[in-house]
Amino acid sequence: MADCVFCAIAAGELPADIVHSDDRVVAFRDLNPQAPLHVLVIPRLHRANAAELAATDPALVGDMVTAAHAVATGDGRAESGYRLIFNTGADAGQTVFHAHLHLLAGGRVGLTL
Is 102 a catalytic site residue? no
Residue 63 to residues 10, 31, 82, 109: CA-CA distances in angstroms? 15, 23, 17, 23
36, 27 in Cβ contact below 8 A?
Answer: no
pLDDT at 113: 41
pTM here is 0.94
Residue 3 to residue 20: CA distance in whole angstroms: 23
Q: Please tell me which residue in 38, 98, 100, 102 is annotated as part of the active site.
A: 100
pLDDT confidence band for 2 (50 / 70 / 90): confident
Fold held by 5-105: HIT family, subunit A (3.30.428)
pLDDT confidence band for 109 (50 / 70 / 90): low
pLDDT tens readout for residues 59-81: 999 999 999 999 999 999 999 99
